[in-house]
C-alpha cells in the first residue's frame, strides 16, 4: 500500500471512531502546490464539531498523529475538515 492510501486509511479509522455518522464521512486525497499530500475530510454537520473539538484540540491531536505517521513515510501532509451541505446529503 502506498503512503497516501495508508495515511488515508489511518485517518479514516481515527475519524470514524469519533463521529456519529461514519457512513456520511469521506476523505478526498490530493496534492498541494508545495507537493504535500492534501486530505480533505467531509463530514455531516453534527460530526464536524466532534472532530474539531473544543478550541480545536481534537483536530490538533489528529493532525499531530497524521504528521508523525507521514514522517515515517517521508512525506508532508495537509489536513482540512469540511461539513457536507444539506443539499449534498440528499443527492
* 42/76 Cα distance (integer angstroms): 20
Asked if residue 21 lies in contact with residue 76, where contact means CB atoms within 8 angstroms, the answer is: no
Cell for 35? Answer: 507537493
Check whether 14 has a pLDDT greater than 60: yes
Check whether 13 has a pLDDT greater than 80: yes
Instruction: Give exposure, 61-90, as e/b (b: 16+ Cβ within 10 Å).
Output: ebbeebeebbeeeebebbbebebbeeeeee
Check whether 90 has a pLDDT greater than 90: no
How do residues 30-77 score in pLDDT, each as one tens digit? 999 988 999 999 999 999 999 999 999 999 999 999 999 999 989 999
Global pTM? 0.83
* 48/33 Cα distance (integer angstroms): 26
Amino acid at each position: 500500500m502506498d503512503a497516501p492510501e495508508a495515511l488515508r486509511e489511518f485517518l479514516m479509522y481515527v475519524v470514524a471512531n469519533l463521529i456519529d455518522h461514519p457512513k456520511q464521512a469521506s476523505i478526498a486525497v490530493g496534492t498541494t502546490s508545495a507537493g504535500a499530500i492534501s486530505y480533505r475530510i467531509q463530514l455531516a454537520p453534527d460530526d464536524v464539531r466532534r472532530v474539531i473539538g473544543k478550541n480545536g484540540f481534537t483536530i490538533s491531536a489528529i493532525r499531530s498523529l497524521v504528521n508523525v505517521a507521514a514522517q515515517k513515510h517521508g512525506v508532508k501532509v495537509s489536513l482540512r475538515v469540511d461539513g457536507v451541505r444539506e443539499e449534498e446529503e440528499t443527492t
